[in-house]
């Protein structure tokens, strides 16, 4: 299965397109690194793929129904997706929307909070957390729903080393179980985790394919 971006055009300002007739095809079951300099459109491309932005020209073809795209999306700034009154409600929110049984929600939320070291703060507001703690909570809120494909926008930016290790363990676990990964990064070393690379350049798409071909 693959996602096809066909002649995609998108601009935030008239006559200054981020993408103009971009065509891109990639498999949904791989760990894909999305790299490029600042301003080349990495976050914009990720939001287009996830359906958070709509292309102004061209179309995107998915292997799933358009009304129920199975993406988990991590924003670059974790505060953009923390909306509930406390940590426990934050993690329960996505499961409730999927009609998961109440007992299972409680068990999964407790397990996730313990895994990220925030169980004792489960009744605190997310706004009381540090930057790294907010990132861990946002990650847990995304991972707890076990989506078919994860889109992670520079996921290690706010994390200390133990939290990075936890993130990689969770992502690897989901990937082994068939979850696709789109990992946006400016750190070339993080491409070691990837088996495909999409590289954006100021002039457009620079490369898309298996990492071994990227050198």
- Asked if the structure places residue 168 within a domain, the reply is no
What is the arithmetic mean of pLDDT over 49-59?
95
For position 190, what pLDDT does the model report? 87
- Which residues does 95 contact at the CB level (< 8 Å), separation at least 6? 104, 105, 108, 109, 144, 145
Q: Which residue's structure tokens are 């491309």?
A: 45
Classify residue 87: in a domain, yes or no: yes
Residue 113 forms part of a structural domain: yes
Q: Model's pTM, two decimal places?
A: 0.85
User: pLDDT class for 76, splitting at 50, 70, 90?
Assistant: confident
Q: Among residues of the chain, what percentage have pLDDT more than 90? A: 59
- pLDDT tens for residues 121-144? 999 999 999 888 898 899 899 889
Residue 9 in domain: no
With respect to residue 58, please indicate whether it lies within any of the assigned structural domains: no
The Cα 206–Cα 96 span in angstroms is: 41
When pLDDT is averaged across residues 60-68 and rounded to a whole number, the result is 91
Q: Does 44 fall in a domain?
A: no
* Residues 6 or more apart in contact with residue 146 via CB below 8 angstroms: 174, 179
Tally of structural domains, the chain: 1
Give the model's confidence band at 214: pLDDT under 50 very low, under 70 low, under 90 confident, else very high.
very low
Q: Is residue 206 part of a domain?
A: no
Report long-range pairs for 96-100 (Cβ below 8 Å, ≥24 apart): 98/145
How far is 21 from 24, CA to CA, in rounded Å?
10
Residue 88 domain boundaries = 82-145
Instruction: Determine, yes or no, domain membership for 61.
Output: no
């Amino acid at each position: 299965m693959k996602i096809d971006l066909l002649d995609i055009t998108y601009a935030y300002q008239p006559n200054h397109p981020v993408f103009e007739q971009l065509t891109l095809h990639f498999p949904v079951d791989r760990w894909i690194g999305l790299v490029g300099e600042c301003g080349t459109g990495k976050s914009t491309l990720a939001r287009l793929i996830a359906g958070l932005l709509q292309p102004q020209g061209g179309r995107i073809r998915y292997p799933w129904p358009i009304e129920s795209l199975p993406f988990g999306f991590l924003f670059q700034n974790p505060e953009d997706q923390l909306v509930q009154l406390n940590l426990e409600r934050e993690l329960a929110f996505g499961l409730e929307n999927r009609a998961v049984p109440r007992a299972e929600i409680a068990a999964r939320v407790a397990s996730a909070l313990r895994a990220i070291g925030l169980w004792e703060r489960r009744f605190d507001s997310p706004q009381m957390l540090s930057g790294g703690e907010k990132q861990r909570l946002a990650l847990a809120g995304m991972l707890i729903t076990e989506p078919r494909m994860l889109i992670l926008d520079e996921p290690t930016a706010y994390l200390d080393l133990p939290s990075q290790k936890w993130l990689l363990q969770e992502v690897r676990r989901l990937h082994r179980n068939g979850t696709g990964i789109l990992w946006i990064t400016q750190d070339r070393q993080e491409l070691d985790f990837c088996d495909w690379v999409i590289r954006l350049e100021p002039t457009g798409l620079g490369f898309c394919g298996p990492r071994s071909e990227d050198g």
